[in-house]
Amino acid sequence: MGIKQHNGNTKADRLAELKIRSPSIQLIKFGAIGLNAIIFSPLLIAADTGSQYGTNITINDGDRITGDTADPSGNLYGVMTPAGNTPGNINLGNDVTVNVNDASGYAKGIIIQGKNSSLTANRLTVDVVGQTSAIGINLIGDYTHADLGTGSTIKSNDDGIIIGHSSTLTATQFTIENSNGIGLTINDYGTSVDLGSGSKITTDGSTGVYIGGLNGNNANGAARFTATDLTIDVQGYSAMGINVQKNSVVDLGTNST
């Protein structure tokens, strides 16, 4: 970086030339007084990291998580919280990517196991490929809450999302793309999914959405699925858009297809 100052005649303003090679530096020029201020702002660079395990996990915006660690069953995962009564608090910020490719086993993207855990993300991308099976997000812990913000995407060569145990999931403009398995599975009494407006579920070879309040504590009420302007696109023999079992409430609002 160099700054060159040029002197003109007495009637001319003093000019400054700033050569900038870093996008993290900005120049502010204050008119004829020739005062130049250089403001340095932090330059955020996305980082690559491996599998994340624990009860409190925070990932910086734009970071990329690649599953490189196996769970006790020998299957690779991206993000996982411990099972039990200790809540997990998982904050994946904005524009985080989780990639898991298990060439010999069961690929697991995000697995939330602790009771009363939370998962927060915005514009999250989860992409999982497994040799035997795969799951994008699995909310196992009782009363877990996941808020996936706006514009998140789940891709899997098996199941997309499985949620149960009276947990909740919210998102909008949400996308699930998967093959072989079910796009979205909603199990148990009291489990609730709200996909807001403009979401899309695309499956090849299985059902788009399965919902059934068949297990758990019936005092928690019916399983619920809510969305508006939702698109479900399924292909395959006997594939269904939505498979609704008993103790379930489905509200697809307007303009859903």
Query: Would you kindly state where each structural domain of the chain is located, as residue ranges?
Result: 2-40, 48-251
Per-residue pLDDT, averaged over 166-189, amounts to 98
Mean pLDDT check: name the lowest of 41-55, 86-100, 124-138, 151-165.
41-55
- Statement: residue 29 has pLDDT above 70: no
- Statement: residue 67 has pLDDT above 90: yes
3-state secondary structure 202-247: EEECCCCEEEECCCCCHHHCCEEEEEECCEEEEECCCCCCEEECCC
Query: What pLDDT is attached to residue 241?
Result: 96
Query: What pLDDT is attached to residue 16?
Result: 39
Q: Which fold has domain 48-251?
A: Pectate Lyase C-like (2.160.20)
- Sign (positive/negative) of CA torsion 7, 8, 10, 14? negative
pLDDT band at 4 (very low <50, low <70, confident <90, very high): very low
pTM value? 0.83
Query: What pLDDT is attached to residue 33?
Result: 44
Per-residue pLDDT, averaged over 190-205, amounts to 98
What number of other Cβ atoms are within 10 A of residue 16's Cβ? Answer: 14
Could you tell me which residue, 175 or 33, shows the higher pLDDT? Answer: 175
